[in-house]
Structure 1
Amino acid sequence: MKENNDTQPHEGKTIRTMIVDDELLARRGLSLRLDHYADIELVAECANGREALAKIAELSPDLVFLDIQMPGINGFDVVEQMQSDDMPLVVFVTAFDKYAVEAFEVHAVDYVLKPIEDCRLETAINRVRQQMQQSDVNNQKQRLMDLITNITGKDPAQIDQLLQNGHDLSGQYPEKLSIKDSGRTTLIPVKDITWIEAAGDYMCIHSNNPKQVNVLRSTMKELESKLNPALFQRVHRSTMVNIDCIQKICSHINGEYFLILDDESKIKMSRSYRSKIKHII
């Protein structure tokens, strides 16, 4: 039996919903969360884009939670191939902040980041309800197509190439960081970087294998743009960590935390950046 959610559903209207995700656990987790919404009727779950297209044509759902990173036909391809007269409202699901940009808001669609937080899911569903009340779904496909071009800078036909490296999108980020000093260039494997701290106009790069600190002339913003956001996250205005290197998380006063890394470094995480790694706290 479904529980009543604190947010009032769209009165008298059931939202026929599909979940499209190649990960079984992700589908199951979202399904369980959606079961708490009285006006959400889950009509199908699909494990790939081809199956999703067939089910959308067959069932004409009102809403689709659509994973972006799927092998074969990815989420963007699904949007491109959907028939306009079958076009449901779409909430994109992604594991990467790369796609969580203002364009989603501008084009009147929504997104949720994996792992999905309950409060963020509720916000997405409320926006779906509002759009359904406005009955403004006729140009939904064009808005989505504009969105895809906006956030990728590419034509939708090029999306496969953008995602060619699969779920981790690793091909878009360097495997080694080049640090020049006194005519000498040091190449540091990115996977060995444990954390980074800002010191004025310089970045102190802490790494293992071997354990060392290298200094790079750069701003935090510049360096952040070069590193995979699925791996490196800011935890303080002047600190960024490799989340794979976090060994322990210790609570501190005023909602702050200390992160203990594999190299035994103790990093303070400020409250304002807590949401960046909330999924592992």
Structure 2
Amino acid sequence: MIEKIRTLVVDDESLARRGLVVRLQEFDQIELLQECPSAREALEVIGKEQPDLVFLDIQMPGMNGFELLREVQAHGYKMPLVVFVTAYDQYAIKAFEVRAIDYLLKPVDHERLAQSIQRIEKSIAARAQKVQQDRIVNMLAEATGEDCEAILKRLASGEDVSVARYPEHIAIKESGEITRVAIHSIEWIDAAGDYMCIHAGSETHILRRTMKELEEELNPQRFQRIHRSAIVNMEHVEKLCSRQNGEYHLILRNGKELKVSRSYKDRIKKLILNQ
């Protein structure tokens, strides 16, 4: 199925406008929305219809083509792709300065128009691909805790970017019993020699595992290292405080105060500001 390109034709000369419309009707991928005899009318239609493409005359009374584009931007309307159509070639450089996708001279030649539409289709496909890529990268960033730029670099280098599935509970064996501790209840974790102390509410559980092994099992969007030997659940953080000696401390909702080492300070500040 051909994806239709919703198109607007803007020209104050009725014969030129109708001639272009007739030519455009030969292309199945073009869906003509309306013909506008003035930039003022076109501004209203662009705001209402949000066309994908506008064939735009430059010299028009009252408001010319360049002024129309400035008004579209000033009104906050979605900017369509623009092909300038004019009888004069002295505007070509300025047309491309405002990022027009093409520049056609009247009378428009059929072959030249076909080339222009081919260029438009490629541009629309590239836009759609960029939107889809951004959507996927944002989803990956949300799921993995990585920032978008890091994910894009990994994709560009051909690395695998997989979404880890993090457990909702952690099994802790203590005194012959196995306790299932809900991940969301864990407030912070600190190291004690070869053991990890898991602090969850009023209880502290002892787990024989390295900090690195445990960190890999926890969702980095929720759990962050704040010290070489401490991990905190950011959902339990109330505030970040700076001391006169330059140290930073996290205050948890239960009143517990945890020191943030200098190497993690900037990342923790950024996370708190963006929450």
Q: State the TM-score, normalized to the length of structure 1.
A: 0.46
Q: State the TM-score, normalized to the length of structure 2.
A: 0.47
Please identify the structure whose Cα radius of gyration is greater: 2
Greater relative CO, 1 or 2 (CA 8 Å, sep 6+): 1
